[in-house]
Amino acid sequence: MVLLIGGSSHVGKTLIAHKLMEKHNIPYFSLDYLKMAFVNTRITDLTLEDDYELRYAMWPFVVEIIKAAVDNKQNLILEGCYIPAEWQDSFPKSYLKEIQSVFVVMSENYIRTNQADIFDYADVIQARIDDVVDIERLVNCSIGFKEDAIENQIPYLEISEKFDIDEIVLEAEELLNISKE
């Protein structure tokens, strides 16, 4: 099974993937690493600020990673803001039964009332170099990812009251249809 965890930046995707890895012994890969490979090797002229364009430049490579995992009957978690809402269109039906996805978003109210926590927890799993959290961009991206999820019938997990990682992981497991063992 391949599990895709998409959504806006700074909403906890990497932490969720890490917790699922620990709990279910499923390896995970952050698409931020692939982004850095694309930018640092100059395989593209896109820059770190070109998230939307990078999503579609990287996606054909991500599709092949997913297909290889499915073909080899391996479990894998992929997480990042680089998973397009129409990801299902990239796969034949035979692959879709082996792929589950969830988008993670934060409500506007949560973002605006918990800015300090969002800043404090930004690098809880991986160090973010020169990270600047643009609250307006985060609000707009979360709204956009939620709308994309609804439009494309992707389950979404919305953080709106508190960030309790244990509860969030349980909800992610339910939305991804994975065992809670």
Structural domain boundaries of the chain? 2-176
Tell me which fold the domain 2-176 belongs to: Rossmann fold (3.40.50)
Residue 131 pLDDT greater than 80, yes or no: no
Write out pLDDT tens, residues 135-169.
898 999 999 999 999 999 999 999 998 888 999 99
To the question of pTM greater than 0.95 for the whole model, the response is no
> 172 pLDDT exceeds 80?
yes
Q: How far is CA 54 from CA 16, 75, 164, in A?
A: 23, 25, 31
**Average pLDDT of span 49-61:** 91
Task: Tell me the CA distances in angstroms from 82 to 7, 10, 115, 162, one per residue in order.
Answer: 8, 13, 23, 25
What band does 46 get if pLDDT is binned at 50, 70 and 90?
Answer: confident
Please state the separation of Cα 137 from the chain's center in Å.
17
Residue of 69, 55, 92 lying closest to 1 (CA atoms): 69
pLDDT at 123 over 60: no
pLDDT higher than threshold 60 for residue 128: no
